């Protein structure tokens, strides 16, 4: 019975793939796809201008750039490989469940019972005991040593992983009191922002930026703290300066631009 259930779940998971295999193939030329994309970009620019997220000069420049790409879009149609694509999909429809079933027979352990709630509670209690012991040991360690600092960082990581924000903040503050580190300050500032404590985050970020003024993550978090505190003009100038200094291929550029657009 359980194997029939597994097969049914596998068929349900692969249904979208089967639909893609058997539906009629529609060949779209490259120019047609480019035109649709560029028209969508123009419509998005118009919406941004209407909402006040884009200035008139910036809208005009961006529109001209999209129109230039529209005019230079290639006219050649992309070759279709429908038969090879269908064959590959058909192979996957068979190979994915067969390979998964074989891997489960080889490495799986179907007879292992699920961990009951009581066992999970007991494991959590053991973790609490270990963390309490670690905290007591750190309290006896000289505070300005590297061993104490690393211990408080480890304890903060464990507490954050367990969702105990206040305990993680306390532990990381003890580590920063031993020796200030901009990287750890960024972690703690982000934790403050997650709990909507923008003032504490800003104080940390000011000190961290004094030591590492060019660090992109610190500058991004500084803008986020300003936005969370309602200082939108400060957030906007912080993020614009970050984008001005960022390389064109920075992987986080799109995130910052999106944050800028979302500012009221």
Supply the pLDDT for residue 101.
Answer: 62
Domain around 89? 1-24+82-108
**138 in a domain, yes or no?**
yes
Q: Among 11-25, 109-123, 139-153, 211-225, which stretch is predicted with the lowest mean pLDDT?
A: 11-25
Average pLDDT for residues 219-248, to the nearest whole number? 94
Query: How many Å separate Cα 6 from the centre of its chain?
Result: 32
Average pLDDT for residues 31-40, to the nearest whole number? 66
- The answer to whether residues 6 and 97 belong to one domain is yes
pTM exceeds 0.75: no
**140 in a domain, yes or no?**
yes
pLDDT greater than 60 at residue 74 = no
**114 in a domain, yes or no?**
no
Sign, CA torsion 123/129/133/134: positive
Distance of alpha carbon 158 from alpha carbon 147, whole angstroms:
17
Contact predicate 209/183, CB 8 Å: no
| Digit-coded pLDDT (tens) for 119-173 | 667 777 787 888 888 888 888 888 889 989 999 999 999 998 888 899 999 999 9
CATH number at residue 252: 1.25.40.10
**For the packed helices 30-51 and 56-71, what is the interaxial angle rounded to 10 degrees?**
170
- The answer to whether residues 90 and 147 belong to one domain is no
Distance of alpha carbon 149 from alpha carbon 54, whole angstroms:
47
- The answer to whether residues 60 and 145 belong to one domain is no
- The answer to whether residues 180 and 222 belong to one domain is yes
- The answer to whether residues 91 and 221 belong to one domain is no
- The answer to whether residues 101 and 46 belong to one domain is no
Average pLDDT for residues 40-48, to the nearest whole number? 78
Distance of alpha carbon 228 from alpha carbon 36, whole angstroms:
37
- The answer to whether residues 53 and 35 belong to one domain is yes
- The answer to whether residues 234 and 156 belong to one domain is yes
Q: Extract long-range pairs of 168-172: CB within 8 Å, 24+ residues apart.
A: none
Supply the pLDDT for residue 27.
Answer: 47
261: three-class secondary structure by DSSP: helix
pLDDT above 90 covers a percentage of the chain that reads 37
Supply the pLDDT for residue 144.
Answer: 85
**113 in a domain, yes or no?**
no
- The answer to whether residues 190 and 237 belong to one domain is yes
Q: Structural domain tally of the chain?
A: 3
pLDDT greater than 50 at residue 71 = yes
Closest CA to 158 of 135, 181, 137, 176: 135
Average pLDDT for residues 243-248, to the nearest whole number? 92
Supply the pLDDT for residue 78.
Answer: 43
- The answer to whether residues 66 and 175 belong to one domain is no
| Digit-coded pLDDT (tens) for 81-123 | 445 555 555 555 556 666 666 666 666 665 665 556 666 677 7
**184 in a domain, yes or no?**
yes
- What is the average pLDDT value for the chain, to the nearest integer? 78
- The answer to whether residues 146 and 175 belong to one domain is yes
- The answer to whether residues 134 and 161 belong to one domain is yes
pLDDT greater than 70 at residue 68 = no
Distance of alpha carbon 25 from alpha carbon 20, whole angstroms:
9
């Amino acid at each position: 019975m359980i194997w029939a259930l597994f097969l049914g779940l596998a068929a349900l998971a692969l249904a979208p793939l089967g639909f893609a295999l058997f539906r009629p193939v529609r060949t779209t030329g490259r120019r047609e796809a480019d035109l649709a994309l560029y028209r969508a970009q123009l419509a998005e620019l118009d919406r941004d201008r209407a909402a006040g997220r884009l200035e008139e000069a910036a809208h005009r420049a961006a529109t001209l750039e999209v129109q230039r790409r529209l005019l230079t879009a290639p006219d050649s149609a992309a070759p279709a490989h429908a038969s090879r694509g269908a064959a590959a999909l058909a192979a996957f429809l068979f190979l994915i469940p067969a390979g998964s079933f074989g891997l489960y027979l080889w490495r799986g352990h179907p007879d292992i019972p699920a961990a009951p709630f009581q066992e999970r509670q007991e494991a959590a209690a053991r973790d609490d005991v270990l963390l309490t012991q670690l905290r007591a040991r750190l309290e006896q360690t000289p505070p300005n040593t590297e061993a104490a600092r690393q211990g408080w960082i480890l304890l903060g990581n464990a507490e954050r992983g367990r969702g105990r924000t206040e305990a993680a903040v306390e532990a990381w503050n003890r580590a920063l009191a031993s020796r200030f580190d901009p990287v750890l300050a960024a972690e703690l500032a982000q934790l403050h922002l997650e709990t909507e404590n923008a003032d504490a985050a800003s104080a940390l970020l000011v000190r961290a930026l004094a030591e590492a003024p060019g660090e992109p993550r610190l500058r991004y978090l500084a803008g986020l703290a300003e936005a969370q505190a309602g200082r939108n003009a400060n957030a906007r100038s912080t993020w614009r300066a970050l984008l001005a200094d960022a390389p064109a291929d920075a992987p986080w550029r799109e995130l910052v631009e999106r944050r800028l657009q979302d500012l009221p």
